[in-house]
């Protein structure tokens, strides 16, 4: 059995940072203590001046997903490779049950997509788009298979009507699952998009003007009421703005079990990018869209104050050519950004800028996603018996953003030209060093061991707040 000892690093948890060593036996963490003496057959990794995080968990990716008449450029192979290089040791991807399919069919389709090799561990949430008795009866079985979270949409062609929405929530809650909801008022958006005429059809900014904050806030408010009635824990996915976050806070004040997720794009970019030329502006099209500077502040404050529980990416990547499908009609631009490999360093920028602490970074990237998504038995923490999923993070090396340094198959980088402090130094996936950064003169590159990931059967939801 392989033994690894990580020495001299600063161990990060949501509670504190402390100098501790980590001893790993095979796939598991054996011991976490100060000054562990190396046994004779152990490989020692020196993490001096570096942080030791639990492997990051990204609970919101879309790999190999059909969107707006095209398919995301990252499949499970390239998407999980990008994830692991960015320190994400577990992703949970949104599998979809399309109309006419059983849930089991949708699940099997997604497992097949993931069967060509994955470089980090993965789970699957199931998005339900077609509700009937058979489908509802399958929820229990999905949960038994470790698919313990589901997604429902209030918009797009897979949106559910209120009665179906409620039926799903009840079934999920009864079986101790979690429901994530894409919250935007469909009717409002439909009408606003209908009203766009003439040359405005070609303007990317029509995208964000027709998906206003109130559409998101209204849907979160309603879904919180529904989920509470159905006794189901509800995760508001990709919360983008102050108005929406206020609805989360109000629901919690009423005692509802509501969680909130945001994404790095909403913490860095504002809607002024939609005024750029089409090729540039379309890179930032996502739904809900980027908002205002005041919203960026509200979201960082929300993380700091515990109103936002997790930061995931909603990685949904396209090429410039795919984005150009909407050149003549903003409605046809495939929505999504491509930050699965950049999330940790983006969030660390918030630590450098003193918006949040490093402990909070650990909470929203590791511990809380582990709790919400049923990974809490093996992942999200560095403690004895847990999977040895570990990120050694170097705060003294910079990350320089450029599409040439990316693993995603997407041919652009939305942070191109930016340099952020902090870099992923090494990543261990269940005890194996799968990413190792090497510096040679001015050159800095990663050695990656691919295809080491496996499916994770997740546990049922347990209330934690």
| Shortest separation between residue 266's beta carbon and Zn ion, angstroms | 12
The interface with ligand DUC within residues 20-79 (CB under 6 A) comprises 62, 67
Question: Per-residue contact track with ligand DUC, 280 to 299, x per CB under 6 A?
Answer: ------xx------------
Contact 211, 288 (CB under 8 A): yes
**In this complex, which beta carbon is closest to ligand DUC, that of residue 128 or of residue 286?**
286
Interatomic CA distance for residues 324 and 48, integer angstroms:
47
Three-state SS for 14-72 is CCCEEECEEEEECCEEEEEECCCCCCCCCEEEECCCCEEEECEEEEEECCCCEECCEEC
Question: Per-residue contact track with ligand DUC, 312 to 341, x per CB under 6 A?
Answer: --x-x------------------xx-----
The residues of the shown chain that bind Zn ion, judged by CB under 5 A, are 314
Residue 264 in contact with ligand DUC, rule: CB under 6 A: no
Choose from ligand DUC, Zn ion, none: what does 335 bind? Cβ within 5-8 Å by kind: ligand DUC
**In this complex, which beta carbon is closest to ligand DUC, that of residue 60 or of residue 430?**
60
Residue 366 in contact with ligand DUC, rule: CB under 6 A: no
Contact 317, 72 (CB under 8 A): yes
| Tokens encoding 258 | 């509501």
Residue 147 in contact with ligand DUC, rule: CB under 6 A: no
* Other beta carbons within 10 Å of 461: 24
| Shortest separation between residue 50's beta carbon and ligand DUC, angstroms | 34
| Shortest separation between residue 30's beta carbon and ligand DUC, angstroms | 40
**In this complex, which beta carbon is closest to Zn ion, that of residue 308 or of residue 428?**
308
The interface with ligand DUC within residues 162-191 (CB under 6 A) comprises 182
Q: What letter would DSSP give residue 102?
A: -
Instruction: Say which residues have a Cβ less than 8 Å from residue 34's Cβ, sequence separation at least 6.
Output: 19, 20, 21
| Shortest separation between residue 157's beta carbon and ligand DUC, angstroms | 12
Interatomic CA distance for residues 208 and 367, integer angstroms:
33
Cα torsion for 370, 376, 381, 382, to the nearest 10°? -150
Contact 308, 364 (CB under 8 A): yes
Choose from ligand DUC, Zn ion, none: what does 220 bind? Cβ within 5-8 Å by kind: none
**In this complex, which beta carbon is closest to ligand DUC, that of residue 52 or of residue 267?**
267
Which H or E run includes 423? strand 419-429
Residue nearest to Zn ion (CB): 314
Choose from Zn ion, ligand DUC, none: what does 286 bind? Cβ within 5-8 Å by kind: ligand DUC
- Main-chain dihedrals φ then ψ at residue 274, nearest 5 degrees: -75, -10
Choose from ligand DUC, Zn ion, none: what does 289 bind? Cβ within 5-8 Å by kind: none
Sites of contact with ligand DUC (CB under 6 A): 62, 67, 182, 286-287, 314, 316, 335-336
């Amino acid at each position: 059995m392989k033994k690894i000892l990580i020495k001299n690093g600063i161990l990060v948890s949501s509670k504190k940072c402390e100098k501790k060593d980590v001893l790993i036996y095979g796939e598991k963490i054996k011991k976490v203590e100060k000054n562990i003496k190396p046994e004779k057959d152990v490989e020692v990794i020196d993490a001096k001046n570096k942080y030791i995080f639990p492997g990051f968990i990204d609970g919101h990716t879309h790999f190999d997903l059909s969107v707006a008449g095209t398919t995301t450029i990252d499949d499970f192979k390239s998407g999980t490779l990008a994830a692991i290089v960015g320190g994400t040791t577990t992703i949970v991807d949104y599998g979809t049950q399309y109309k006419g399919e059983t849930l089991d069919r949708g699940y099997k389709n997604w497992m097949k997509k993931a069967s060509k090799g994955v470089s980090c561990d993965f789970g699957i949430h199931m998005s339900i788009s077609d509700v009937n008795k058979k489908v509802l009866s399958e929820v229990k079985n999905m949960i038994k298979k470790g698919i313990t979270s589901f997604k429902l949409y209030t918009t797009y062609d897979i949106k559910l009507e209120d009665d179906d929405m409620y039926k799903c929530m009840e079934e999920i809650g009864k079986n101790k699952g979690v429901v994530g909801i894409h919250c935007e008022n469909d009717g409002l958006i439909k009408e606003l998009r209908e009203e766009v005429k003439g040359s405005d059809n070609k303007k990317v900014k029509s995208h964000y003007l027709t998906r206003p904050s109130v559409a998101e806030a209204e849907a979160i408010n309603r879904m919180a009421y529904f989920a509470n009635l159905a006794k189901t824990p509800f995760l508001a996915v990709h919360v983008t703005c102050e108005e929406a976050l206020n609805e989360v806070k109000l629901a919690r004040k009423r005692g509802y079990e509501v969680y909130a997720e945001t994404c790095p794009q909403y913490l860095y970019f504002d809607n002024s990018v939609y005024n750029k030329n089409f090729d540039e502006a379309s890179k930032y099209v996502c739904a809900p869209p980027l908002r205002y500077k005041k919203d960026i502040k509200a979201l960082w404050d929300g993380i700091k104050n515990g109103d936002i529980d997790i930061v995931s990416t909603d990685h949904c990547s396209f090429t410039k050519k795919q984005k150009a499908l909407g050149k003549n009609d903003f409605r046809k631009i495939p929505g999504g950004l491509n930050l699965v490999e950049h999330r940790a360093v983006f969030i660390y920028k918030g630590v450098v800028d003193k918006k949040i602490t490093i402990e909070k970074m650990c909470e929203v990237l590791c511990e809380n996603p582990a709790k919400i998504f049923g990974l809490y038995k093996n992942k999200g923490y560095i403690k004895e018996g847990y999977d040895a999923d570990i990120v050694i993070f170097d705060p003294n090396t910079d990350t320089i953003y450029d599409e040439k340094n990316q693993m995603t198959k997407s041919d652009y980088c939305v942070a191109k030209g930016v340099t952020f402090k902090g870099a992923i130094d090494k990543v261990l996936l269940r005890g194996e060093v799968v990413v190792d950064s090497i510096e040679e003169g001015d050159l800095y590159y990663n050695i990656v061991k691919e295809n080491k990931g496996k499916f994770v059967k997740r546990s049922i939801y347990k209330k934690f707040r």
